[in-house]
Amino acid sequence: MFNLFKSFRQDNGAVVLMYHRVTDLPIDPWKLAVSPEHFEGQLTVMSKKYRVIDIDELLHQQKQGKIKNKTICLTFDDGYLDNYINAKPLLEKFNCPATFFISPYYLETQQVFWWDDLLNIILLSPELPKIINIRQGNHVFTRRVKEQKINPGQSKELKSWVWDQPYPTERCEIYMALWVFLRPLHITEINDCLKQLKASIGNLTETPAMDIAMSNEQLKDLVCNPLFKAGIHTMTHPALALHTKEEQQKELLTCKATLEQQLNQKFDIVAYPYGNFNDETLQVMQENHLSAGFTTQAQTITRNSDTYTLGRFQVSNQPSKDFEQQLKQWFR
């Protein structure tokens, strides 16, 4: 999830596309969502003008040193419900294979992904408290809120804001500060912080139905179609490099074991949450014979690419004409 790297070009090679959501969102600061209409248009372009293959075939071509021209792979991170409801039938319509990188914790608990929960609390709640005060062990977040209520003029600014742009409202700044505060924590700590935050606000907006993961049964149904594969996205979606090597290994291997038990298949391909990894992550990958790792770095894949740091391009909510031009730039 979350492409935090600047794009750059590399000659030749295959392009792996990174999607997260196929739905319409009122606020999308991370640019995670592509509308079903635009997604269908993007698939139309790919199916007519490019060679869409699955991850296994791409890795085979890369190993052989013979990546075919105009090759594309589709990946989805996190396992959102809208992947099953909206993306799956469109992918089937165009006969396009895709890999879905899954964090089983969210499928099992059916709780809202924490970054979406935080967004709904901070950016959509009618009124915030005068002071936000969260404690988690030695970690403390305190912030005085100057504007507790959303005024009509701010609503439009909130909807158009993107994370790497200047903050148009105080709420955007608070959201990013809390996101930075929460991201290094363990999932139980994050949940406790969100519980404290919700208790201080009280009057919360209703959680959008699509902000949860697909169920385990839906995942099983998804991978019954040979077009679709699942992949490892860690158990609870931590930023791996912010944790010990032992914790990283536990996250990766628990995810692997959970998926293998549920789906009765072998899994050895990883997408690093947030694109976040370090040397210890790569050691864990090698020591446990995981075959490939995908980042969020916008790089084409060539025969010389490191199979543990393979690049992907995040797709934005573009109509087909703009998307076609974007693909040409990525392949250039």
Find residue 136's DSSP bridge partners. 139
- Whether residue 181 sits in one domain with residue 75: no
Answer yes or no: is 246 within a domain.
Answer: yes
Please state, in angstroms and rounded to a whole number, the distance separating the CA atoms of residues 252 and 271: 10
- Whether residue 120 sits in one domain with residue 103: no
Structural domain containing residue 143:
114-206
Assigned token pair, 286: 């090698």
**Above pLDDT 70, what percent of the chain?**
96
**Mean pLDDT value across residues 251-268:** 97
- Whether residue 200 sits in one domain with residue 166: yes
Contact 329, 9 (CB under 8 A): yes
- Whether residue 236 sits in one domain with residue 312: yes
- Whether residue 122 sits in one domain with residue 94: no
Query: Tell me: the pLDDT tens digits for 54-78?
Result: 999 999 999 999 999 999 999 999 9
Query: Tell me: the pLDDT tens digits for 139-191?
Result: 999 999 998 888 777 778 888 899 999 999 999 999 999 999 999 999 999 99
CATH of the domain at 250: 3.20.20.370
Domain boundary among 171, 206, 241: 206
- Whether residue 164 sits in one domain with residue 312: no
Contact 20, 295 (CB under 8 A): no
Answer yes or no: is 10 within a domain.
Answer: no
Answer yes or no: is 1 within a domain.
Answer: no
- Whether residue 77 sits in one domain with residue 22: yes
| Dihedral sign computed on CA atoms, order 37, 225, 271, 313 | negative
- Whether residue 93 sits in one domain with residue 76: yes
Confidence band for 2, pLDDT divided at 50, 70 and 90: low
- Report how many domains make up the chain: 2
Contact 99, 54 (CB under 8 A): yes
Nearest to 72 by CA among 16, 7, 11: 16
